[in-house]
A and B are shown apart, each in its own frame.
Chain A
Amino acid sequence: MQSDLPLYPDQASNFAPNVDALMIYITAICAFFAVAITAAVIYFFFKYRRKDPSDVGVAIHGDMRLETAWIVVPLLLALSMFGWGAVVYVDYRRVPMDTLDIYVIGKQWMWKVQQPTGLREINELHVPVGRNVKLILASEDVIHDFSVPAFRVKMDVVPGHYNTMWFRPTKAGRYHFFCQQYCGTNHAIMGGWVTVMEPMDYAAWLSGSSDATANPVVAGEKLFVEKACTTCHLSNGTGRAPSLNGVYGAQVLLADGSTVTADDAYIRESILQPQAKIVAGYQPLMPSFQGQLTEEQIIDLSEYIKSLQSQPVPATGSGVAPATGKK
């Protein structure tokens, strides 16, 4: 804990120093103008106070040079703030390749977290120090928002599609996370703790509490059979639907001639709205699973489909251009 009246939260991620530096820069400029103008107002107020009730001020109507100056100078300063802010922002949005992917599901009024091993947590999130972490955010009902002030990160959790965010924890410890988008009655208690651990401790923690039944790949495989996906998505590519081997991360050729990267959002969309993007060479036969799968089940299925990565890509019938570079 810092002093009783801290001015900024802990710096515990790669973003925190950048954001704080930006904060200091803008604060300095703003404080300068605030102080200068306030001082001028107070000075004029006393210097030119009315001495006689019938006094009149000097008639000065304006000055083009001054007007130009106080349009141009603030404009340049504003642009510098924009530029720096934009650089930091793009950093937030460009997710690195080598991330540890963790799913976070918000629902009124709790957070469900699923580690890559399938380990589930409620209102707790464990991450290792020094590793790039990507959170894939989904909501089961209203809009929530996942925010960790000590990491200076925040992203809305919007029902209907995935948002992602990333960060690299730099300091072990326990930090608050909050729901920052008003979501109903217990919005204020929809939060928890992020625990940043040394990589060794994290690995130990994962293996210590892991159990095989929670493995999303296993659960996803079971669902894949239960929901009869196997009927059409034959792994050798001879089925009525494309093989899913190696599809994750690949460029998929669509019926209308365009291509799309098969990422989490694409897999999710293909399960819920199969008609939206039809793979080239296949008929739009697949039914929609909207309303029939929970967010967690969708994640399990996605994880299973991702795990098919290791199997060989069939020569024909996948509609997939060979995976390029990813992993």
Chain B
Amino acid sequence: MHRTGELSGQYRTLEQQRETASLGMWVFLSTEVLFFGGLFMTYTLNRSTYPDVFSAASKTITLWLGAVNTVVLIASSLTMALSVWASQVGKKKLLTIFLISTLVLGCVFLGIKGIEYHDKYVEHHIPGWNFNFEPGADVATNAHAQLFFSLYFGMTGLHALHMIIGAGLLIWLIKESLRGRFTPEYNTPVEIIGLYWHFVDIVWIFLFPLLYLIDRH
């Protein structure tokens, strides 16, 4: 297929190319909803089966770290939205600045996540690996707490993996924006990677109350 500037050969117009890319990302995100959905399903059932143990286990994770992370991630979503806006109105310098701030906020999030994971390691709360919920917990409680932490690591781990992929995409965007590639006519990559980033944010918006906020009275 021949390329004409930023237009790939299978499309007739740039507008068609942009719409196609955007719809493609949306459809991909709907897949992602169901992908995380399997975990949410597992979570829902186990929480409804073992509400007390889940509540007790939830209380052992550090609330303020999660709360800070929520703010950080929403802020990064804001800067990402601003990047899309900057690229649409052609403010190339602002675009680069917003993209870099998004990346920095994303890295802060991952850093805090790393601290939390380290805490879990110290507390023997990593499932399948010297797991010990609390001294004196009986076999059943220990097993059910391990379920909670399996889900905690499964959900936040999968989320963090998405963050890392997103950070990689952001680095590429920053590189291209430094070359001045994005113009008001052609900014599709900024837009669709923006969609992806917001989605990752949304997943966290649900993970936070589900994992950190069980019966914190």
Contacts and interface: CB of A to CB of B under 8 A. Distances in A.
B17 interface: no
B116 interface: no
Nearest to B144: A273
Contacts of B138: 287-288
A276 B140 CA distance: 10
Interface in A243-297: 272-276, 287-288, 290-292
Interface of B: 50, 52-53, 138-141, 143
B53 A275 contact: yes
Contacts of A274: 140
A287 B50 CA distance: 16
Nearest to B53: A275
Dominant SS among interface residues on chain A: loop
A79 to B, nearest CB: 30
14 contacts: A272-B140, A273-B140, A274-B140, A275-B52, A275-B53, A275-B140, A287-B138, A288-B138, A288-B139, A288-B141, A290-B140, A290-B143, A291-B139, A292-B139
A290 B139 contact: yes
Given A276-B50, A290-B140, 15 more contacts: A273-B140, A274-B140, A275-B52, A275-B53, A275-B140, A275-B141, A287-B138, A288-B138, A288-B139, A288-B140, A288-B141, A290-B139, A290-B143, A291-B139, A292-B139
Task: Indicate the member of B52, B53, B140, B143 with the most A CB atoms within 10 Å.
Answer: B140
A265 B21 CA distance: 54
A276 B141 CA distance: 10
A275 B140 CA distance: 9
A288 B50 CA distance: 14
A211 to B, nearest CB: 34
Nearest to A284: B52
Contacts of B50: 276
A272 B143 CA distance: 12
A288 B53 CA distance: 13
Contacts of A287: 138
B52 to A, nearest CB: 6
A292 B140 CA distance: 11
Task: Indicate the member of B50, B53, B139 with the most A CB atoms within 10 Å.
Answer: B139
A287 B141 CA distance: 9
Nearest to A291: B139
A275 B141 CA distance: 8
Nearest to B143: A290
A273 B46 CA distance: 14
Contacts of B140: 272-275, 288, 290
Task: Indicate the member of A276, A291, A292 with the most B CB atoms within 10 Å.
Answer: A276
B69 to A, nearest CB: 31
Nearest to B140: A288
